[in-house]
Amino acid sequence: MEDCTFCKIIKGEIPSTKVYEDDEVLAFNDINPAAPIHILVIPKKHIKSLLEVDKEDERLIGKIYRIINQIAEEKKFDKNGFRVIVNCGKDGGQEVEHLHFHILAGKPLGEKII
């Protein structure tokens, strides 16, 4: 089966502007930013969506949140704050079927759904 868009980014087959990388996690700028700072954080393991997260992924998901907080400090938007969004499935508006965490920052993010 063909790799998904984000697996291609992980493999370097699609270029991206990387913000963070280790053996398990990659963070890169969103191609169509919805805020001055819009970073996607993904596990290198191809997990289709939040619904596919298994018990064995619990440590990895915790690590992703720690990396988000590290990026916030490094990029200096920790003090002003930010928003983390995970879209899941059709009604959630998920377009790329590889689990990803949107980080939005750099301005008051305005309208809140909740």
Active site residues: 100
Nearest to 73 by CA among 105, 29, 110: 105
- 12 is in the binding site of which of ligand 5GP, Zn ion, none (Cβ under 5 to 8 A by kind)? none
Q: Is 108 in the site for ligand 5GP (CB under 6 A)?
A: no
Q: In the complex, what is the shortest distance from the CB of residue 18 to Zn ion, in angstroms, rounded to a whole number? A: 16
Instruction: List Cα–Cα distances, 22 to 36, 49, 56, 64, 67, in angstroms.
Output: 24, 21, 19, 11, 10
42 backbone dihedrals φ, ψ, rounded to 5°? -135, 150
Site string for ligand 5GP, 43-62 (x = CB under 6 A): --------------------
Q: Considering only 19-27, 51-59, 76-84, 89-97, which stretch makes contact with ligand 5GP by CB under 6 A? A: 89-97
Nearest to 41 by CA among 1, 111, 99, 81: 99
Q: Is the dihedral of CA 89, 11, 63, 104 positive or negative?
A: negative
CA 96 and chain centroid, separation: 11
Of residues 46 and 102, the one with the C-beta less far from Zn ion = 46
Residues that bind Zn ion (CB under 5 A): 4, 6-7, 46, 98
Residues that bind ligand 5GP (CB under 6 A): 5, 14, 16, 28-32, 40, 87, 93-96
